[in-house]
Amino acid sequence: MQQVAEKVRPKIDLGEFKTARAVVLLSGGLDSAVTTWIAKRECIELYALTILYGQRHKKEVECAKELAKELGVVEHKVLELPLGELTESSLLGNREIPTNGLEEGIPSTWVPQRNAIFLALAFSWAEVVGADKVYIGVNAVDYSGYPDCRPEFVSSMDNALNLASKRFVEGGPGIQIVAPIISLPKNRIVELGLRLGVPFSSTWSCYSGGARACGSCDSCRIRRRAFLDCGVEDPIEYEN
């Protein structure tokens, strides 16, 4: 009887409802870690891309490696791109990191066109591995006011990059940019990460590039506030 019932009842393979393959931009920061864990629930195979672009906080790249290993991605690439030779930002070490709290306007930590460059690189790889989606952990709520973290930018890049995508131009479905945490406040991102089991001890947010997080740059301030809001201790150590 049981055998018949099993034959009649179609087997539901949750995998069928998942996206087959996706590229994830994994910096090693908190946002990209939560985004990667979301992607893992939505996709079968993940390809993680980390860009070593001359950031002061190279430690995040080590975190990205740990996260990729922990999650079991199909492949993790770390691509070197010396952006400091081309552009200016306090993140690249050719300007000072501000530590006096969030200010009006776009701060000096902004790296001009960083997300456009990273998305174009991710699409290039996505085309080769046959990925249907590119995940990016941009966030436009508790953030530093970077213009390339806003939904209108992400949607416009999706349009532009698909116009240059072979599979889209040849009549295929194109590649979709997914920015799952773009509209979440930071405390909701931390909460979501906790539910998904993101190992926050292997994430790095501080801009300053010291051995321990400085606690006073914009990124540290926003992160600590979010953990405080959630009533959970941030597992990383702070300088002060």
Q: Applying CB under 8 A, which residues contact a second copy?
A: 49, 77, 79-83, 85-88, 105-106, 110-117, 120-121, 123-125, 127-128, 147-148, 150, 152-153, 156-157, 159-161, 163-166, 168-170
Q: Which is nearer to a second copy, 137 or 193 (CB)?
A: 137
User: Which residues 6+ apart lie within 8 Å of 159 measured at CB?
Assistant: none
Smallest distance, a second copy to C-beta of residue 146, A? 8
Q: Which is nearer to a second copy, 32 or 162 (CB)?
A: 162
The string of DSSP letters for 23-67 reads EEE--SSHHHHHHHHHHHHHEEEEEEEEEE-S-S-THHHHHHHHH
Q: Which is nearer to a second copy, 133 or 150 (CB)?
A: 150
Paired strand residues for 51? 79
DSSP-derived 3-state class of residue 115:
helix
Q: Measured in Å, how far apart are the chain's first and last C-alpha atoms?
A: 67
Smallest distance, a second copy to C-beta of residue 121, A? 6
Q: Is 81 left (phi over 0), alpha (psi -120 to 50) or beta?
A: beta
Smallest distance, a second copy to C-beta of residue 160, A? 4
Enter the tokens of residue 109. 């930590």
CA 128 from chain center: how many Å? Answer: 20
Q: Which is nearer to a second copy, 144 or 203 (CB)?
A: 144
Smallest distance, a second copy to C-beta of residue 70, A? 23
For residues 144 and 11, give the distance between their C-alpha atoms in angstroms, rounded to a whole number: 47
User: Which residues 6+ apart lie within 8 Å of 145 measured at CB?
Assistant: 102, 105, 106, 107, 110
Q: Which is nearer to a second copy, 80 or 233 (CB)?
A: 80
Smallest distance, a second copy to C-beta of residue 46, A? 16
Q: Which is nearer to a second copy, 31 or 158 (CB)?
A: 158
Q: Which is nearer to a second copy, 174 or 199 (CB)?
A: 174
Residue 175 is given by DSSP the state -
Smallest distance, a second copy to C-beta of residue 220, A? 23
Scanning the structure block, which residue is given the tokens 């990124």? 219
Smallest distance, a second copy to C-beta of residue 173, A? 15
- Amino acid, single-letter form, for residue 77: K
